[in-house]
Structure 1
Amino acid sequence: MIEITADMHAIIKQAILSFVATVNEDGTPNLSPKASLTVTNGILYFADIASPQTILNLGRNPAIEINVVDIFQRRGYRFKGRALVLPPGDDEYLMIANRVRATNGPEYPVDHIVKIETTSIIPLLSPAQIFARPPRSQDEIRDTYHQKYGVKPIGS
């Protein structure tokens, strides 16, 4: 398994929303948004709160890709690997499910927890970071996109 770095962990936490791709039975992609992606002990997990197709797909084919992009920093990561669906009662299931319920409330169903064995991690960078000349600092990029989206950082 490939190490999840502190920067990757920070991007996951800041981005909040990630997108999980699995393979449908007919070979077409299934893309599902997740707000429960988390890193614990260097391992990626997410909760199955309302993802029956994702779980069905992973039961047939454990191939998975997760994209996480911080829209203000205009960067993120593509995590590829194999997924393991953890059933209720499993120790890792309980650890992550309890965190999800503590964050979202006890009424949130957590049918399964998905654990990802990462086999490839690729940085995702926007053209704002690749092609801008002269190069722009991360602060300049973030300020530009805060302005573009009409938001202010917390504490401003």
Structure 2
Amino acid sequence: MIEITEDMETIIKQAMLSFVATVNEDGTPNLSPKASLTVKNGALYFADIASPRTIQNLKRNPAVEINVVDIFQRRGYRFKGRAFLLPSSDDEHSMIADWVRATNGPEYPVDHVVKIETTSIAPLLSPAHVFADPRRSQDEIKSTYYQKYGVKPLAE
């Protein structure tokens, strides 16, 4: 498994929403938003709260890709790997289910917990990073997109 760095973990926490891609039975892509993606003990996990298709797909084909982008920093990561459905008796399952309920409330169902064995990780950079000339700083990029979305940053 490839190491999840501190920067990757920070982006996951700041982005708050990721997108998990799996493969449907007919070979077409299935994309599912996840607000439960987290890093614990150096590994990626997400909870199945309302994603039966994602779980069906992973039971048949464990190939998965997860994209996470901080919309204000205009950067993120692409995680590819193999998904493992953890049994409900597993300590890692309990750790993630407890975290989801503590974060969202006890009424949130956690039907499954998925652990990702990462096989590749690549940065995702928007054109704001790639094509700007001269290169803009991360602070300039964030300021631009705070304005574009009409929001003000929380105290950083």
User: What range is the shorter-chain TM-score in?
Assistant: over 0.9
CA displacement at 1:87 relative to structure 2 = 2.5
Say what the alpha-carbon RMSD is for the aligned residues. 0.8
After superposition, residues 74-153 of structure 1 pair within 5 angstroms as 74-153=74-153
* Uncovered stretches (5+) of structure 1, i.e. residues with no partner: none
* Counterpart-to-counterpart distance in 1, 2:109 and 2:155: 33
The yes-or-no answer on 1:15 pairing with 2:2 is no
For the Cα contact (< 8 Å) 1:24–1:30, is it kept in 2? yes
After superposition, residues 33-48 of structure 1 pair within 5 angstroms as 33-48=33-48
Give the percent of matched residue pairs that are identical in Structure 1 and Structure 2. 81
CA displacement at 1:88 relative to structure 2 = 1.7
After TM superposition, the score normalised by the length of structure 2 is 0.98
After TM superposition, the score normalised by the length of structure 1 is 0.98
After superposition, residues 58-73 of structure 1 pair within 5 angstroms as 58-73=58-73
In the alignment of these two chains, the number of paired residues is: 156
Q: SS at the partner of 2:132?
A: coil
**Moved beyond 6 Å, runs of 4+:** none
* Counterpart-to-counterpart distance in 2, 1:141 and 1:154: 16
> Deviations 1:84-138 (Å, cap 9, x if unpaired)?
0113221110000000000101100000100000000000000000010010000
> Deviations 1:31-56 (Å, cap 9, x if unpaired)?
00000000001100000000100000
For the Cα contact (< 8 Å) 1:87–1:111, is it kept in 2? no
* Uncovered stretches (5+) of structure 2, i.e. residues with no partner: none
> Deviations 1:1-42 (Å, cap 9, x if unpaired)?
000000000000000000000000000000000000000011
